[in-house]
Structure 1
Amino acid sequence: MAGEPEFHQSKNHEEEVTSGEQGFAEHDPEGLICSSKSLQGHLTQVPWLLLLLISLGLFLLMLATLVQVSRIRAYSQGQTQDQQGSSSLDKVAVPREQTHSGLEQIQQIQQQLTQFNASLAGLCRPCPWDWELFQGSCYLFSRTLGSWETSASSCEDLGAHLVIVNSVSEQRFMKYWNVRKNQRSWIGLSDHIHEGSWQWVDGSALKFSFWKEGEPNNDGDEDCVELFMDDWNDNKCTEQNFWVCEQPSAPCPHH
């Protein structure tokens, strides 16, 4: 029949291919050379594996992106809450009326303190009782009599000394009190250590003098000085006179 030779030809061709493959297999005992069928199987498996790896990579990338986005949102929300908190604190500020009233109260307290300090300054006495203040010094005009030595000791017992006259204004102050009381008063000047060398009780030399006319005359060993009327006179140190003590004044608050 006409179709039989074609059948035998194709069969012979398949046998040739098979025998060829077997020949290659004999020369490749370790299977290093793949057959056409196995190569086609490997080629069909590679795209699916590559697609799986690409899908896995995209999934991981999307997951990392989602994590980063969530972090950014959380950070932005935290900043928003902080801003809202600070703005709420600003809104909870003390009302202006309360602030103004608080300032007024503070000013009133300061005024009261100033008045209180002024009252204390008015009550402050820079000098003890019965002492007179003049140019930063306190003066005590005694009401008892005594010798020059006794008078000097009495002043020292009070933490003072017999008066030392250092200026014209101080001499005028002494004259005023002497005339007012009309009495002789010892001052802290003498020459009982060295005759004719007048010194004050603190050891300083005489610089200003207000002697009466003709004084000092050392009549009968007169070594101590008294304030008599307006000027000075030397007299015996044993005479009984009043005396004048002097000491620095005490500072008062804000003075």
Structure 2
Amino acid sequence: MEERHYVNSPPGRRRIERVRQNSSSGISKVVQLVGVSFALVCITQIVLNTYFWQQPANPNAPCPSGWTKFISSCYLISSVANAWDYAKENCESHEAHLVILNDEMEWRFVNYLGGELKLWIGLYVSTDCWSSPDVQWVDGTKLNFTLVKHLNQGFWTTPHGWFYIDPSLPCINNWSLATYPQNLHWICEKMYN
């Protein structure tokens, strides 16, 4: 370490300057160490999140080949695009159904799994001659999902339509409604045994 010499300063003063320089460089090293440690923790968390998102909850109960397990369901994204009705039938042919989003965690997982694809989900608007439009899932359950409060309430006035996830929309509002036939990819869901 370089010692500073001052022309008119007493020897004790030189020692104080050296101690200040040592303590400030020590603090700087601690701050750098904390910063690097925090960065490593963040990177580790990202790696672990990615790993666990794709790991089965029960490794003894595998999903079929090509399906991805999350919590208690298996998911399959189509390799082709087609109409909602075709997507529904295709999922049923795999003994599954178009995905039913039960909570925010599942919604986030499906968004992650789908990447940049627009995906049909199992939500649609149906009507009959005697009632107003009804939004329901493919299993017949009514829409009961806390994130829907952010959707445009104009969705509920259309007599028919099919919902899809559009990743190009803001994350909380990324459900969209198709009121005319479109060809999109889809995601099937089934419970694993």
The two structures have a TM-score, normalised by structure 2, of 0.58
Q: Alpha-carbon deviation of 1:192? A: 2.5
Q: Cα 1:188–1:209, aligned 2, differ >3 Å: closer, same or farther?
A: farther
Q: Alpha-carbon deviation of 1:239? A: 0.6
Q: Alpha-carbon deviation of 1:213? A: 5.0
Tell me whether 1:240 sits opposite 2:177 in the alignment: no
Q: Cα 1:142–1:216, aligned 2, differ >3 Å: closer, same or farther?
A: farther
Q: RMSD over aligned Cα, in angstroms?
A: 2.4
Q: Alpha-carbon deviation of 1:209? A: 5.1
Q: Cα 1:191–1:219, aligned 2, differ >3 Å: closer, same or farther?
A: closer
Percent identity for Structure 1 against Structure 2: 30
Q: Alpha-carbon deviation of 1:193? A: 3.2
Residue 149 (structure 1) aligns with: 85
User: Following the alignment from structure 2 to structure 1, what is the Cα–Cα distance between the partners of residues 146 and 127?
Assistant: 19
Residue 203 (structure 1) aligns with: 140
Larger relative contact order (CA 8 Å, sep ≥ 6): 2
Query: Going by fraction, where is helix more abundant, 1 or 2?
Result: 1
For 1:171, which of 107, 115, 122 is the aligned residue? 107
Secondary structure at the counterpart of residue 111 of structure 2: helix
- Superposed CA deviations along residues 204-254 of structure 1, whole A, max 9, x for unmatched, are 11100545653654798661100111321111351100000000112xxxx
User: Following the alignment from structure 1 to structure 2, what is the Cα–Cα distance between the partners of residues 237 and 127?
Assistant: 34
Residue 185 (structure 1) aligns with: 119
User: Following the alignment from structure 2 to structure 1, what is the Cα–Cα distance between the partners of residues 181 and 138?
Assistant: 17
Tell me whether 1:223 sits opposite 2:166 in the alignment: no
Contact 1:192 1:224 in 2 (8 A): no
Query: Going by fraction, where is strand more abundant, 1 or 2?
Result: 2
Q: Cα 1:193–1:126, aligned 2, differ >3 Å: closer, same or farther?
A: farther
Residue 70 (structure 2) aligns with: 134
Secondary structure at the counterpart of residue 225 of structure 1: strand
Q: Cα 1:152–1:237, aligned 2, differ >3 Å: closer, same or farther?
A: farther
User: Following the alignment from structure 1 to structure 2, what is the Cα–Cα distance between the partners of residues 188 and 243?
Assistant: 9
Q: Cα 1:176–1:203, aligned 2, differ >3 Å: closer, same or farther?
A: same
Secondary structure at the counterpart of residue 139 of structure 1: strand
User: Following the alignment from structure 1 to structure 2, what is the Cα–Cα distance between the partners of residues 132 and 156?
Assistant: 17
Residue type at the aligned position of 1:225: F
Secondary structure at the counterpart of residue 139 of structure 2: coil
Alignment of 1:11-90 (within 5 A): none
Secondary structure at the counterpart of residue 191 of structure 1: strand
Q: Alpha-carbon deviation of 1:151? A: 0.2
The two structures have a TM-score, normalised by structure 1, of 0.45
Contact 1:147 1:237 in 2 (8 A): no
How many residues are aligned here? 127
- Superposed CA deviations along residues 111-158 of structure 1, whole A, max 9, x for unmatched, are xxxxxxxxxx86x55201111101110000111111000000000001
Which of 204-213 and 239-248 deviates more? 204-213
Contact 2:133 2:157 in 1 (8 A): no
User: Following the alignment from structure 1 to structure 2, what is the Cα–Cα distance between the partners of residues 232 and 215?
Assistant: 12
Q: Cα 1:219–1:241, aligned 2, differ >3 Å: closer, same or farther?
A: farther
Larger-gyration structure (1/2):
1
User: Following the alignment from structure 1 to structure 2, what is the Cα–Cα distance between the partners of residues 170 and 245?
Assistant: 13
Residue type at the aligned position of 1:242: H
Q: Alpha-carbon deviation of 1:197? A: 1.3
Secondary structure at the counterpart of residue 177 of structure 1: helix
